[in-house]
Amino acid sequence: MAQIIDACGRSCPEPVLMTKKALESHEARYEVLVDNNTARQNVTRFAKSAGYTVGVTEEADLFRLVLTKS
């Protein structure tokens, strides 16, 4: 089961900081929810630099980023 990080309504850098804190738990999979393109890009960039593969799906006004350890 993936840990879910709901960063909707948050502006950068808060979604990245929330993701960074969650990654400290060393789960194999995370789902990050963001509602703007800037947060999507920044969280994706951070997750890739931390060694995660990122899959993105767009649902209405929401981006669901699925992070899995590479």
pLDDT digits (tens, 9 = 90+) for 12-30: 999 999 999 999 999 999 9
Catalytic pick among 3, 6, 8, 12: 12
Q: Is 12 a catalytic residue?
A: yes
What's the whole-model pTM score? Answer: 0.94
Does position 1 have pLDDT exceeding 90, yes or no? no
H or E stretch at 13: none
- pLDDT tens digits for 42-67? 999 999 999 999 999 999 899 999 99
Looking at residue 70, its pLDDT comes to 80
The pLDDT assigned to 2 comes to 86
Q: What is the pLDDT of residues 27-38, one digit of tens each?
A: 999 999 999 999
Domains of the chain and CATH, by start? 3-69 (3.30.110.40)
